[in-house]
Structure 1
Amino acid sequence: MAFSLGFHIVFSCIGMVMPFFMSTAHYFWLKKKETVYLDVTKAWSKGVAIFFATGAVSGTVLSFELGLLWPRFMEHAGPIFGMPFSLEGTAFFIEAIALGFYLYGWNRFHPWFHWLTGMVVGITGLLSGILVVAANSWMNSPSGFDFVNGQYLNIDPMKAMFNAAWFSQALHMCVAAFVSTGFAVAGVHALMILKGKNVAFHNKAFRIAAIFATVAACLQPLSGDISAKDVARRQPAKLAAMEAHFHTEKGAALVIGGIPDTASKTVSYALKIPKLLSFMATNDFNAEVKGLDSIPEKDHPPVMVTHFAFQIMVGLGMAMLALSVVYFIALLKKKSWSDSKWLLKLFVIATPLGYLALEAGWTVTEVGRQPWIIYGVMRTADAVTPMPGIAYSFYLFTAVYISLAVIVSFLLFRQITMVGKLYDSSTDHKTQ
């Protein structure tokens, strides 16, 4: 499941965000009538189609895995949190229809209606992501039912969907999707500019993607703060594992880096900022923050994995925030920086950082919830399938996802190369 989600989250985030990049370029084409924006729009629309297809395949595999790997979980949880999944299916169908209209609507629809269909692709894709996260947030903050003598009674699907965690998780995930995809797309176009290929084309594309990425990177710490305070209130064990916070104390220090030792309940080689964890969790420098010592050991998450994943996520997020600040200085104050090679090289280096942070963040969410699949209600060990031979399905699904990754990489490489050649020949023809 972890392997499948690790692939699908990349496909789905690109599918959620790229339509907005595409629609932005399309808007500039309609307003300015500069052919380069039309070229960018059509190039990105093909990328949207590629990731829509791969996202659909990888998402379908995940739906099979829910039934195959977690039958006991689905037996009890399905009727409770099934609503966001059914609504996600509706959003997906609308997205598919709108994408068909967009791809085949050139010179057939009114220009602004055609642009609107592209916006619908983005909005429904984003809505699909929010609905799936709502289902996941229910696993972290179960509500909408009464658990009595092992029975799930008085089910309220709306209350389950709009649980206490859905807003903070959905907000953090959506912003992360714009950060990761924005930096990845900007990095690819920055590389093409450095190579001197189709500079006018890639400059426009880079500017659009970089603006989305840097604005989102500046908003991400705010959404992260909302998420952290929510986790501190609902899942103190997860917060303690994230921070390697072993001992309950007032005025708790924020731990940066370090190697936790669960045997001795200590953290080595860490930088500790006094009282900052208490403030970040509660807005009070002297507030008490629960440590792992206040939680039964059988309910402890894997501290090492959760702590390292959290540190990676925050560290990469801060690196992208710093690059965003530099980029805004270049746009507003230091115009000479905008076209400098060193700035473009920084964006190239940042290409994978967003997705690495994204994977680390989901590791924190899922591993930090352990040993619960439904927090405080059902343990993961009680939900997993008892059937033997499950390793063979793992080999099959692994082959599917690796094949998807290879195919997508090949298609994108061919698309970028083809766009470059077409744009070069078009430019040469105009010059002659």
Structure 2
Amino acid sequence: MELDPLILSRIQFAFVVSFHAIFPVFTIGLASYIAVLEGLAFKTRNPVWTKLSSFWTKVFAVVFGMGVVSGIVMSFQFGTNWSNFAQASANFLGPMLSYEVITAFFLEAAFLGVLLFGRNKVPAGVHLFAAIMVATGTFISSFWILSANSWMQTPAGVEFRDGVFHVVSWSEAIFNPSFPYRFLHMVLASFLTGGFVVAGVSAWYLLRGREVEANRKALSMCLWLLLIIAPAQAVVGDFHGLNTLEHQPAKVAAMEGNWETSGNVPLLLFAIPDQENQTNLFEIGIPNLASLILTHDVNGEVPGLNEVAVEEQPPVALVFWSFRIMVGLGLLMILFAVAGLVLRAGGRLYKARWYLQGLRFMSVAPFIAVLTGWFVTETGRAPWLVYGMMTQAEAVTPSLTGGMALFTLIGYIVVYSLVFSAGVYYLMRVLFVGLEDADDEEHVSDRPARPLSAAHVPFEIESENQDAQQTNPAIKGGH
């Protein structure tokens, strides 16, 4: 069987990007949370805020390191697997990646050491400033990366001459039509991820009766944030969808599983897209709702995939189901945020075990939502790499063979598996130590290794006696 270098290169880049994406989407939100904690500690001098900040800074350090290690190789893949694209887009993407390094990486590098190791060694105001600068650096980094990615989705400000993109307007290229929506959508996703992870870990500690006061504060803060951010994300997602409908109608048609351009289009809750026969099997939908959502008119016309040549259609089934998983998890996040408000009003927020247990498992939901969202974004523009201007087949390295692509793909899988395993192991050790030693100068890695069991991992079901926990005053008291 002949190995296709294009397919293998796409799989390789998808694997690396998917692996990498889960880390910055967490660190962006977590860095802002740490800056808020540092601000509260500086203003109130309450040691609880300091303890929380110290603990989550350790978590941030591990995740940030894994993100850097996993992401640094992506730029090299432009040269190894996508050299035609790298050469064609160098006039724009080269400066964009350089701007990220100069404005974001340098800023983070300058202040990350102060944040991680400067507590009690520099004035409190300096430490707070370092936390703010690190958080600012994460936003600047996401600005440049998402601008570059959005340009590939909705290219603007360039001319394509002799196989090369020439920038004619930097402002139009950077602030291309989809960038504002995509950037805001990703920022809110980062806050959702950070909020649900902190809430889930805090809920786990509360179920075990550990550092009750600090974890109640952390959980309460996150739930107020999620109550605002989760519905806001749905609104921004709607605007983002309308922008996509304008500039990438084929992607929206694949998201909706809509083959024929027509009005009164139903919102499909379930279907099995049959791309070969250009139809769906076993459709279950709500009449007219897709037209209402996309055009704000129940009779509005929604584009169908029949408007696009078969060879230019994205993989419909992957886009269709990824979109539904993302939206379903988003609605579940809103439900949990509202449920937290109801429980808070009834004085049962810290007593409802089912809710605390649910928050533990919800801590992984934003990561899945982000990944499926990226699947929709990236596979939905196929076969284009620069939408409407350069296809993936035109962008791949001409001399690349299937064997070379397969060899490097296997290498990435092996190395990343080792990095991920080591990072998760160390992260679990940090979580197991918890807040009790969060303000201890002794580094976690210097302590003797303690065996980890299922009961120590926040995402496993509790094995302790339920009756004993129900009577635990640390869990039952207060609200």
TM-score by structure 2 length?
0.84
Alignment check: 8 A CA contact 1:214 1:324 kept: yes
Assess, with a 3 A threshold, how the Cα gap between structure 1 residues 420 and 7 changes in structure 2: closer, same or farther.
same
- 1:13-92 equivalences under 5 Å are 13-90=25-102, 91-92=104-105
Structure 1 distance, partners of 2:423, 2:370, is: 19
Q: Does 1:9 align with 2:21?
A: yes
Q: Which amino acid aligns with 1:129?
A: S
Render the CA deviation track for 1:114-147: whole Å, top value 9, x for unaligned: 2122011112102211211111111110112122
Q: Determine the structure 2 residue equivalent to 1:429.
A: none
Aligned residues: 425
Deviates more, 1:365-374 or 1:393-402: 393-402
Q: Determine the structure 1 residue equivalent to 2:425.
A: 410
Assess, with a 3 A threshold, how the Cα gap between structure 1 residues 369 and 284 changes in structure 2: closer, same or farther.
same
Q: Determine the structure 2 residue equivalent to 1:222.
A: 235
Alignment check: 8 A CA contact 2:87 2:164 kept: no
Structure 1 distance, partners of 2:127, 2:167, is: 46
1:383 Cα deviation from its structure 2 partner: 1.0
The CA RMSD over aligned residues, in Å, is 2.1
Q: Percent identity?
A: 31
Q: Determine the structure 2 residue equivalent to 1:364.
A: 376
Instruction: Choose from 250, 271, 294 the match for 2:284.
Output: 271
Alignment check: 8 A CA contact 2:156 2:176 kept: yes
Describe the SS at the equivalent of 1:52: helix
Alignment check: 8 A CA contact 2:265 2:289 kept: yes
Q: Does 1:120 align with 2:133?
A: yes
Q: Which amino acid aligns with 1:277?
A: A
Assess, with a 3 A threshold, how the Cα gap between structure 1 residues 112 and 288 changes in structure 2: closer, same or farther.
same
1:154 Cα deviation from its structure 2 partner: 5.2
Structure 1 distance, partners of 2:408, 2:296, is: 47
1:337 Cα deviation from its structure 2 partner: 3.3
Assess, with a 3 A threshold, how the Cα gap between structure 1 residues 153 and 65 changes in structure 2: closer, same or farther.
closer
Render the CA deviation track for 1:286-337: whole Å, top value 9, x for unaligned: 2221100111111100001100100100011111111111112233x22223
Q: Determine the structure 2 residue equivalent to 1:141.
A: 154
1:192 Cα deviation from its structure 2 partner: 2.0
Q: Does 1:330 align with 2:351?
A: no
Assess, with a 3 A threshold, how the Cα gap between structure 1 residues 191 and 270 changes in structure 2: closer, same or farther.
farther
Q: Determine the structure 2 residue equivalent to 1:212.
A: 225
Of Structure 1 and Structure 2, which has the larger fraction of its residues in helix?
1
Deviates more, 1:267-276 or 1:38-47: 267-276
Structure 2 distance, partners of 1:47, 1:205, is: 15
1:150 Cα deviation from its structure 2 partner: 4.1
Describe the SS at the equivalent of 1:250: coil
Assess, with a 3 A threshold, how the Cα gap between structure 1 residues 137 and 246 changes in structure 2: closer, same or farther.
same
Assess, with a 3 A threshold, how the Cα gap between structure 1 residues 156 and 82 changes in structure 2: closer, same or farther.
farther
Alignment check: 8 A CA contact 2:27 2:63 kept: yes
Structure 1, unmatched stretches of 5+, are 426-432
Alignment check: 8 A CA contact 1:241 1:292 kept: yes
Q: Determine the structure 2 residue equivalent to 1:253.
A: 266
Deviates more, 1:374-383 or 1:280-289: 280-289
Render the CA deviation track for 1:360-409: whole Å, top value 9, x for unaligned: 00000011010000111111112112312122221222222212211211
Q: Which runs of 4+ in 1 moved over 6 A?
A: none
By relative contact order (CA 8 Å, sep 6+), the higher-ranking structure is 2
Q: Determine the structure 2 residue equivalent to 1:393.
A: 408
Assess, with a 3 A threshold, how the Cα gap between structure 1 residues 347 and 53 changes in structure 2: closer, same or farther.
same
Q: Does 1:192 align with 2:205?
A: yes
Q: Which amino acid aligns with 1:392?
A: F
Describe the SS at the equivalent of 1:288: coil
Q: Does 1:381 align with 2:396?
A: no
Assess, with a 3 A threshold, how the Cα gap between structure 1 residues 27 and 270 changes in structure 2: closer, same or farther.
farther
Q: Which amino acid aligns with 1:78?
A: A
1:102 Cα deviation from its structure 2 partner: 2.0
